Amino acid sequence: MSNPLEGSLALPHWAELRVEGPDAASFLHGQLTQSVTDLGPEQARLGGYCNVKGRLQAGFILLREAPESIALWLPADLLPALQKKLSMFVLRAKVKLAAGDTALHGVVGAAVPSDLPVWGRRGGLLRLPDALGLRRALQRGASDGPALALEAWNWLELHAGVPWVTAATSEHFVPQMINWELLGGVNFKKGCFPGQEVVARSQYRGTVKRRVQLLLGGTAAPGSELRLAGGTEAEGVGEVVLGAAWQGQAGVLAELQLAAWESDATLTLVDGTPLQRAALPYDVLAPQ
């Protein structure tokens, strides 16, 4: 999707979890879906934390702020539960977990350098997919352009195709169901993490029969069901992960049965609103 918008805005629905101490990187490396010990200061990575059944409790962006300090940027409604869960496994590791005290801002347009790689960092700015950016709260008087509406940001984020888990969908999906490994959020070579056996089995045995897809024409809250037109109330074929509406347009990122996506039947929201299949900015793999 082309992006003619310009500006910045506060993102109060995002938060920061700081993990600090001599063992911060090694502790997280053993808990998350992503490699952490080799994370450099000029890059960021997607990561996730799974329960023992391989379901994502949270997805987030990982950044190394200092040799002994790692930041996790994530939807704010997931922070308390994630902090509590990770704290249970600290044991003898020299690590402290605390919520960050700075707000995050979204940036769109010329303030996001076109030569900065996705998930790259420069001058305090992190580049996200689809030329969006994320940074900590700006200094007083600084600006990244005109004010941008939250609805516009949500619409652009929808088309970027990164399906953030929220409290409404926490522990609903194995990472592959929301394309997390396609976006680089799972490192299958890093070693064990909670739920690793389930996630690896889904990857190598071709058992993923559901994927996140982009659908336009209506929106609904995360956790809402999707159906096939003409089906019964008991025949849900998917679940909304993210929804957005802006200037008369609406759409969802939805986790769907691949069979339903590939069928000729119309997909609908629970209220019967028909949806049109649309393309994500990356290829969604079919089961092996």
What's the CATH architecture for 175-278?
Beta Barrel (2.40)
What's the pLDDT at 123?
A: 83
Q: Fill in the amino acid letter for 261.
A: W
Does pLDDT of 261 surpass 50?
yes
Residue 5 is predicted with a pLDDT of: 86
Whether residue 255 contacts residue 218, with contact meaning beta carbons closer than 8 Å, is answered with: no
Neighbours of 29 (CB within 10 A): 20
pLDDT-derived band at 232 (thresholds 50, 70, 90) equals low
- Residue among 67, 63, 181 at smallest CA distance from 126: 63
148 near 155, Cβ under 8 Å? no
Confidence at residue 140, expressed as pLDDT on a 0 to 100 scale: 56
**pLDDT (0 to 100) of residue 213:** 97
Supply the mean pLDDT for the chain: 91
pLDDT in tens, 62-111: 999 999 999 999 999 999 999 999 999 998 899 999 999 888 999 999 99
Whole-number Cα distances in Å, 226 to 57, 131, 149, 239, 264 = 22, 29, 28, 6, 15
The 10s digit of each residue's pLDDT in 124-182 is: 899 999 989 999 876 655 668 889 999 999 999 999 999 999 999 999 999 999 999 99
pLDDT at position 288: 40
Per domain, the residue ranges of the chain are 175-278
d(CA 160, CA 260) in angstroms, rounded, equals 22
| Tens-digit pLDDT profile for residues 4-25 | 689 999 999 999 999 999 999 9
On whether the pTM is more than 0.85, the answer is yes
Is 42 a residue whose pLDDT tops 50? yes
How would you classify the pairing of strands 125-128 and 132-136? antiparallel
For residue 287, what pLDDT is reported?
A: 43
